[in-house]
Amino acid sequence: MSDTFLAGRSALVTGSTSGIGLAIAQALAAAGARIAINGLGDADQVAHALRTVREACGGDIDEARVRHFDADLRRPGAIDTMMVAVGEWTGGDGVDVLVNNAGIQHAVPLVEMPVGKWDDILAVNLSAAFHTMRLALPGMASRGFGRVVNIASVHGLVASANKASYVASKFGIVGLSKVAALEHAAAGSRDSGGVTVNCVCPGWVETELIEPQITARRDGGSREDGVRALLGEKQPSLRMSLPEDIASMVVWLCRREAHNVTGASFPIDGGWTAQ
């Protein structure tokens, strides 16, 4: 039997129509939460995401339990509108769990970075999290329970060449999370669960987005050869995490027992940052 310890709670997961975000939404739904998903994709992709999250709830659940909220996360006004809509959907209380997962990247040398791309990456990866947090945290504090989990990256802890905007945004979200954690550390109690703000920092995760990089390193060998060549550059374990692995960490951080785990950044990187 599933541990539905989040029954009666609500969660918003940005960037949750695919990949890591979708896995997080599914895991939180399985733990009993109402889920607001957000993310890019055509109607079919959004419908697929809604269906799989509803299945994780244990049945064909309607919009009262799982719903998609659209917003262009580059635009503060759109985020404000989304957060108001999510609050109305939850009955005016706002969300108990906020997972800022949405992210974009453009890998080129710093001096070749298009200014527009820089602005978009900082807006989606960092500023959007600021806007959702500033709107969600007051309600969490007033209720004495709240969980903010920001999906940073190993690149919020160490840098790589050709990723200036991505690294800057991820270092920024780690710092932002520490500040928010300090400001809300005394909210609530051990019994209520308190309000915590943490980062999860994945290394290589097995999603469709990295398939071209694996293929480029196969050198005529198998896909596994390509994986080991890719990970050998950075990740000593030589194995990727699954989206579900990241989701499991997020779910654990939402437990009441994690009330004193705040302001932390958790690498899930196969030893990358231990070097």
Share of the chain above pLDDT 90, in %: 89
Instruction: Write down the pLDDT at residue 62.
Output: 67
SS3 call for 122? helix
Q: Nearest 5°: phi and psi at 197? A: -135, 120
Per-residue pLDDT, averaged over 197-205, amounts to 98
Given 89, 145, 166, 204, which residue is catalytic? 166
Q: Choose the weakest-confidence range: 59-68, 110-119, 236-245.
A: 59-68
Q: Please, what's the b/e burial string for 67-95 (b: 16 or more CB within 10 A of its CB; e: otherwise)?
A: bbbebebbeeeebeebbeebbebbeeebb
Predicted local confidence at residue 1, as pLDDT: 39
Q: Among 60, 84, 195, 179, which Cα is nearest to 132's?
A: 84
Asked if residue 128 has pLDDT above 90, the reply is: yes
Q: What is the mean pLDDT of residues 147-166?
A: 97
Q: Where in the chain are the domains?
A: 10-203+249-265, 204-240
Within 10 angstroms of residue 162's Cβ, the number of other Cβ atoms is: 13
**Cβ atoms of 198 and 133 closer than 8 Å:** no
- Hey, which residues does 202 pair with through a beta bridge? 268
Does residue 209 carry a pLDDT above 80?
Answer: no
The amino acid that residue 274 corresponds to is: A
The yes-or-no verdict on residue 195 having pLDDT over 50 is: yes
Q: What is the pLDDT of residue 210?
A: 84
Return phi, psi of residue 266, to 5°. Answer: -105, 105
Which amino acid would we find at residue 266?
F
Active-site residue flag, 84 = no
Superfamily assignment of 10-203+249-265 in CATH?
NAD(P)-binding Rossmann-like Domain (3.40.50.720)
| Mean pLDDT of the 101-118 span | 96
Copy the structure tokens of residue 184.
Answer: 């809300």
Q: Per residue in 19-75, pLDDT tens?
A: 999 999 999 999 999 999 999 899 999 999 999 999 998 765 567 899 999 999 999
For the chain, give the mean pLDDT. 95
* Averaged pLDDT, 103-112: 95
Cα–Cα distance, 116 to 224 (Å, whole number): 36
- Please say if the pLDDT value at position 144 is more than 80: yes
Q: Which residue has the higher pLDDT, 198 or 218?
A: 198
CA distance 217 to 228: 9
Over 60: is that where the pLDDT of 160 sits? yes
Mean pLDDT computed over 93-102? 96
In the 3-class helix/strand/coil scheme, how is 37-90 assigned residue by residue?
ECCCCCHHHHHHHHHHHHHHCCCCCCCCCEEECCCCCCCHHHHHHHHHHHHHHC
Q: Which of 189-198, 204-213, 249-258 has the lowest mean pLDDT?
A: 204-213
